[in-house]
Structure 1
């Protein structure tokens, strides 16, 4: 790359400006990368807790529905599920974490009272109520897991993008700029040495010519005949 750069002082100044800008950008991106990693680790800890809660709630829901089917029968369980009139509602908003836009899911009508479930108190048992509560809790954990997992994925993508940009600056752009800077400085130093050498030669040549001229004038004066006074 250095061979394509003309060794001029103007180009050297431009490269020095680019180096300064790139170094500042590199430092900024490194800080962003480190901050993103810290945020990601916090979300990762939260995701692990959410996954554990999700697994636990899934197992409880499975036990509850199996018990309800065993005690009340599959038809009664399906009838209770079909009686639901108001389904859960989800709204998606967004929040900003160090420049990364991640989703924020708000849910409503997930947890319901006995009346809101639609199947009524009469004709059902506590086993169906327990199964309904267990699945409502499971749904809440699924929604939370979706939010956290999506945020974690977006943060990880941004970390990888930032790392690539840091590496591009650190291992490609800045080394090329340093090489160009060194190349131009060396060429300018060579040009300066050549100019000094050329000026010395010109000065020596001029002094030599002056000495020759002085010697010639002196020789002429010595050769000029002396005339006697009348």
Structure 2
């Protein structure tokens, strides 16, 4: 700590910094705890959404397998080539405790049979059901994409906030407090030396006065 100036002004400045760091530490802990609560809630929602997507995927696979087995791979492939529509969506943003996360605004991918690109009379109910199942799957995938991104960004922010909390708690604040103790010790040492010097000076002056009085 040779670079530290052990002065009262430096001690006052340091104590102010400690106070600000302590307040910042408390606020960051509150933010971290709040983010963790939000994360746990969204994680439960994510589990349900992902579970729903898996179910829709399994259903779509079953419908597709049945359609291929009964109506033939060529018939299914012809319909898949005809279905050229892409999901229509826009990505907005929302704020969760300072964390920007995406919100996907979308039109349902699932459509009525008459709104699809292939002719209704040229397919079977099995193919229609397979198409519908995959449309529902795409809707579910978009929902999962939104919530997975939210979870990822919350995890990143929690980790970043936790590192800042730990840095303040275990390095920054203890280091400043140690420096404050060092300055306090040096000032007290200086005060003691000053008092001793004053006592010696007073004793010398008293001795001189006595000598002058005796002369």
User: What is the TM-score normalised by the length of structure 2?
Assistant: 0.97
Unaligned ranges ≥5, structure 2: none
Distance (whole Å) between structure 2 residues aligned to residue 3 and residue 168 of structure 1: 23
Q: Which residue of 2 aligns with 1:184?
A: 183
Unaligned ranges ≥5, structure 1: 217-230
Q: Which residue of 2 aligns with 1:219?
A: none
Q: Answer whether contact 1:22 1:169 (CA < 8 A) is retained.
A: yes
Distance (whole Å) between structure 2 residues aligned to residue 126 and residue 168 of structure 1: 63
Q: Which residue of 2 aligns with 1:37?
A: 36
Q: Answer whether contact 2:108 2:139 (CA < 8 A) is retained.
A: no
Distance (whole Å) between structure 2 residues aligned to residue 52 and residue 91 of structure 1: 24
Q: Answer whether contact 1:37 1:159 (CA < 8 A) is retained.
A: yes
Distance (whole Å) between structure 2 residues aligned to residue 169 and residue 192 of structure 1: 32
Q: Which residue of 2 aligns with 1:21?
A: 20
Q: Which residue of 2 aligns with 1:55?
A: 54
Alignment of 1:90-105 (within 5 A): 90-105=89-104
Q: Answer whether contact 1:102 1:150 (CA < 8 A) is retained.
A: yes
Q: Secondary structure at the match of 2:121?
A: coil
Distance (whole Å) between structure 1 residues aligned to residue 84 and residue 54 of structure 2: 27
Q: Which residue of 1 aligns with 2:88?
A: 89
Q: CA deviation at 1:109?
A: 4.9
Alignment of 1:66-215 (within 5 A): 66-215=65-214
Q: Which runs of 4+ in 1 moved over 3 A?
A: none
Q: Secondary structure at the match of 1:88?
A: coil
- Does 177-186 or 207-216 show the bigger shift? 207-216
Distance (whole Å) between structure 1 residues aligned to residue 201 and residue 14 of structure 2: 34
Q: Which one has the largest radius of gyration?
A: 1
Q: Secondary structure at the match of 1:122?
A: helix
Instruction: Deviation per CA, 1:125-168: give whole Å up to 9, x if none.
Output: 11011101111111111001111111100000001100111111
Q: Secondary structure at the match of 2:94?
A: strand
Q: How many residue pairs get matched? A: 215
Q: Answer whether contact 1:100 1:158 (CA < 8 A) is retained.
A: yes
> Alignment RMSD, CA only?
1.0
Q: CA deviation at 1:85?
A: 4.4
Q: Answer whether contact 1:86 1:116 (CA < 8 A) is retained.
A: no
Q: CA deviation at 1:86?
A: 3.0
Q: Which residue of 2 aligns with 1:225?
A: none
User: What is the TM-score normalised by the length of structure 1?
Assistant: 0.91
